[in-house]
Amino acid sequence: MKIICVGRNYADHAKELGNEIPDEPVLFMKPDTALMRKRDKFYIPDFSSDIHYELELVVRINRIGKRIQSRYARKYFDKISLGIDFTARDIQAKLKAKGLPWEKAKAFDLSAALGELIDVTSEMDINNLNFELHKNGEVVQKGNTGQMIFKVDQLIENVSKYFTLKIGDLIYTGTPEGVGKVMPGDLLEGYLDGNKILEVAVR
Ligand code: ZN
């Protein structure tokens, strides 16, 4: 199982980090050891002093596929959720400055929190889902999947051009603006269309 993540997929978030709006999806991966099990707590790793949360819509793949055309993409996922792409922003800034790969900043143990998986239904409009992150009860991120630069179907087309998708793979589709630092004791809660489906305690 692999975790594929999309960077800079919301214009306002790309801007807040001083990045250009990409003309094709920015992709990176996390290994299966990055996945946080439901009841895990997130422990701030000792190699970073600036860990950020990034709340993202997550899509779970349910069929093997490669070179999937966007118009068939819906057949390749059956569940969605919210996840947090934990990022060591201090390490990422150093790696970016040198043009080096991001794995140490993005793919470390427990860096991928995952909420409850929700069935995709025919009434669901995947391109019009509201989601928000609360930190200690306060709203810190608010997004709608309609704001994505590359929508879920286009992402599946682009990802599967390079990487064969397998059952259980997860795609983290990028974060809206409002990313920020976590501290020990913080409680992060993710809401999808008003329903809480993610909770992470930071230690
Ligand atoms: Zn992210």
In this model, does residue 40 exceed pLDDT 80?
no
How far away, in angstroms, is 27 Cα from ligand 1 center?
A: 10
Q: Exposed e or buried b for every residue in 28-48, given b needs 16+ CB within 10 A? A: bbbeeebbbeeeeebebeeeb
Burial of 70: CB neighbours in 10 Å, binned 0-12, 13-18, 19+: middle
How far away, in angstroms, is 147 Cα from ligand 1 center?
A: 15
How far away, in angstroms, is 175 Cα from ligand 1 center?
A: 5
Q: Which helix (H) or strand (E) holds 103?
A: helix 103-106
In this model, does residue 16 exceed pLDDT 90?
no
How far away, in angstroms, is 85 Cα from ligand 1 center?
A: 5
C-alpha dist (Å) from residue 82 to 23, 157, 191:
25, 21, 8
How far away, in angstroms, is 63 Cα from ligand 1 center?
A: 24
pLDDT band at 37 (very low <50, low <70, confident <90, very high): confident
β-pairing, 187-192 with 55-61? unpaired
- Dihedrals phi, psi of 126, to nearest 5 degrees: -60, -20
pLDDT for res 147: 96
Of 31-40, 126-135, 166-175, the least confident: 31-40
Q: Mind listing the pLDDT tens digit for each residue in 91-149?
A: 999 999 999 999 999 999 999 999 999 999 999 999 999 999 999 999 999 999 999 99
pLDDT for res 197: 96
Indicate the average pLDDT of the chain. 96
How far away, in angstroms, is 65 Cα from ligand 1 center?
A: 23
For 142, the domain range is 3-201
Closest CA to 88 of 145, 34, 49: 49
Residue, of 141 and 13, whose pLDDT is higher: 141
How far away, in angstroms, is 133 Cα from ligand 1 center?
A: 14
Q: pTM for this structure?
A: 0.97
For residue 188, the SS3 value is strand
Task: Count the domains in the chain.
Answer: 1
pLDDT for res 155: 98
Average pLDDT over residues 21-49: 92
In this model, does residue 193 exceed pLDDT 80?
yes
In this model, does residue 39 exceed pLDDT 80?
no
pLDDT band at 169 (very low <50, low <70, confident <90, very high): very high
pLDDT for res 112: 98
CATH of the domain at 187: 3.90.850.10
Percentage of the chain with pLDDT > 70? 100
pLDDT band at 20 (very low <50, low <70, confident <90, very high): confident
pLDDT for res 32: 96
